[in-house]
């Protein structure tokens, strides 16, 4: 997959997750459930950002000279 395509897919994915997070924050009344769902949502946003944009997977690869 090209980098532009991955970028657009990730942008759409993050927009969808932001709307889901907002909806959870507005409509879930139980505080502990809201916290748990928002934590899961935040991880669902942070993991792809770290992998695709911050290239965190390269940390565990060997050095190339």
Mean pLDDT per segment of 10 residues, for the chain of length 65 residues? Answer: 85 93 94 96 91 83 75
pLDDT at 3: 78
Residue of 13, 11, 40, 4 whose CA lies nearest to 25: 40
pLDDT at 8: 92
Q: Give the C-alpha distances (Å, rounded to integers) separating 50 from 26, 44, 58.
A: 27, 11, 11
pLDDT at 29: 94
Q: What's the pTM value of the predicted model, to 2 decimals?
A: 0.74
pLDDT at 35: 96
pLDDT at 26: 95
């Amino acid at each position: 997959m090209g980098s532009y395509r991955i970028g657009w897919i990730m942008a759409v994915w993050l927009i969808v997750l932001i709307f889901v997070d907002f909806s959870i924050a507005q409509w879930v009344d139980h505080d502990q459930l809201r916290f748990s769902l928002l934590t899961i949502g935040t991880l669902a946003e942070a993991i792809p950002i770290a992998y695709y944009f911050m290239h965190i997977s390269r940390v565990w690869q060997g050095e190339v000279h």
